[in-house]
Structure 1
């Protein structure tokens, strides 16, 4: 079976906090990660980011630049910088919790494998 294309959204609020979700399903159930998921057939990455962000966080976003890509098993995950354009933060779909975290809180979370390292490399960790 080939690679599965996935997308994720990297969002910071005006205070520099990062939006993270706690995964409600495998892979990574109970671990904190960026919101995102699979690109459906016929969808562009941008459309998938908008849909996944709405489903998992309740937020409407405008995807921007590709920040980076990681491979986790058979999943190729393309993470995009996003800007919030509307909606109300609430967890949904595959996420059982969603929250904005500062650097101190981020450091206490049980994260999905490689997340902190990737965000550090991409200069996308919480800014405060």
Structure 2
């Protein structure tokens, strides 16, 4: 089997009151796992544009000011799938409420300690550990 060409994907991290917004994925890849809102790029879309669009589609929150935070070369659990994932930190109006939409089964706010107890992709745990080194959580 010929290796799959990498597909571009992006996700976004929003931190509010010392907690990080995660969604529980309704579809593959990472079905039923907790992850940052995100997904595959559409044709011609920039990584930052993908992150902002997917974030709103999955949470209902209009994020802005994306800052690139991490990049992962991921081989999916699906045979023949390969993703280049760019992770951004975003900002949003604190009055906006997260709702699970589109590919998200649930949406919730979690502390780094709580995230370690959830079923998450390795990239999420890696980002959380890095965030803890770089940001003070209250």
Normalising by the smaller structure, the TM-score range is: 0.7 to 0.9
Match of residue 66 from structure 1: 68
Q: Distance in 2 between matches of 1:106 and 1:126?
A: 16
Q: Distance in 1 between matches of 2:21 and 2:136?
A: 9
Is the CA contact (8 Å cut-off) linking 2:9 and 2:38 kept in structure 1?
yes
Q: Distance in 1 between matches of 2:127 and 2:115?
A: 14
Match 1:76 to one of 67, 84, 90: 84
Per the TM alignment, residue 124 of structure 1 is displaced from its structure 2 partner at its CA by 6.6
Match of residue 116 from structure 1: 125
Match of residue 98 from structure 2: 89
If the length of structure 2 is used for normalisation, what is the TM-score? 0.82
**Number of residue equivalences:** 127
Spell out, residue by residue over 1:66-103, the C-alpha distance to the aligned partner (whole angstroms, 9 max, x if none).
00101111101000110013643100111100111113
User: Equivalent residues in 2 for 1:1-128 (5 A)?
Assistant: 1-13=4-16, 15-73=17-75, 74-85=82-93, 87-122=96-131, 123=133, 127-128=137-138
Spell out, residue by residue over 1:53-75, the C-alpha distance to the aligned partner (whole angstroms, 9 max, x if none).
11101100003210010111110
Q: Distance in 2 between matches of 1:93 and 1:20?
A: 14
Per the TM alignment, residue 44 of structure 1 is displaced from its structure 2 partner at its CA by 1.7
If the length of structure 1 is used for normalisation, what is the TM-score? 0.88
- Quote the RMSD (CA, aligned, Å): 2.0
